[in-house]
Structure 1
């Protein structure tokens, strides 16, 4: 049932995005490479990862190289949201904003749905300490 799982992931992602916008005072402005803008106009890409996977695996933040380059070139920011699914909603466990240029990533070809290499980042790398 990948379709059902995809729908749940999209819904949880939308809830995490809304939580990030509320916490950081962001205005929604979706483009291909960012999700919102800060009050000073800075582009912000919001990434979410689920912490309570039934398989026992923690989710990953997926960053695509092409969009990452765009964000870095415009001095953009990521907001990372780690959450737990609670029924049909989510509980934000941690969130953090980070300048894109400060994120050291190794990209690999994914063969996924986007024409860009990607990096999958474990929440532990974002929320150290």
Structure 2
């Protein structure tokens, strides 16, 4: 999967969100509960893992993402990017000022070891946060 260069080089904090619904407006944040904030090596590791997700063909599930990550720079202003992951249809949708249109919708192999590792990180973050 390809991440925007500005996100890879400029992210200081990642917020992990357990998505509860789809946004009501295009480009709006995905509604949900933040379950973790990653910084330092966690940011580097998460972005590296996301960047190694192998591509895939589109699967049909209707896009029901369960998790998103929001990437912030040092200023912690508006998110550079939000990426919402649907492990059912193997789709990730990204939006934000750092996301060029060509990268806004991508497909990843949700059965790949990298995807399993990413989902385990998300679930681990959610489990630490509690119900």
Same-fold status (TM-score > 0.5): no
Larger Rg: 1
Greater relative CO (CA pairs within 8 A, separation 6+): 2
**TM-score after normalising by structure 2:** 0.28
Question: Could you say which structure has the higher strand fraction?
Answer: 1
